[in-house]
Amino acid sequence: MSKTYLSYLGRYLNINYNNIMAIKKLSKKEIRKLEEEGRLRDYVEIWVDQHNHKLELLRTITSLIAAIASSVVLLKLLHIIN
C-alpha cells in the first residue's frame, strides 16, 4: 500500500481491526484529527468488540458465582446450614 492510500484510509474511513496497520503509518497530526472526530478506535475497544460474547459469558458466570456465595453466607448467618 502506498503512503497516500494509507493517509486517505485513515482520514475517511473508520479504522478497525482489519486496518490497524494503517494507524501506525499515520502521522501524529492525522491520528489526533481522527481522535477529535471520534473516528479512531483504540486497541482495547477493538479487542473488546471482537470478544464481546466471551466477556458477556464471563460476566454471567461471575455473577452466578457471587450470587451462590452470598446465598451460602446468608444461610450460614441464619444457622440454616453449618
Q: Side chain identity at 14, as an amino acid letter? A: N
Q: Is the predicted pLDDT of residue 1 greater than 80, yes or no?
A: no
Tens-digit pLDDT profile for residues 8-60: 545 555 555 556 556 667 677 877 887 788 777 777 777 888 889 999 999 99
Q: Which domain holds residue 62?
A: 51-82
1 with 31, same domain: the answer is yes
What torsion do the CA atoms of 21, 26, 32, 37 make, to the nearest 10 degrees?
-70
Number of domains in the chain: 2
- Determine if the pTM surpasses 0.85: no
37 with 1, same domain: the answer is yes
Place of cell 470478544: 51
37 with 11, same domain: the answer is yes
33 with 4, same domain: the answer is yes
Tens-digit pLDDT profile for residues 67-77: 999 999 999 99
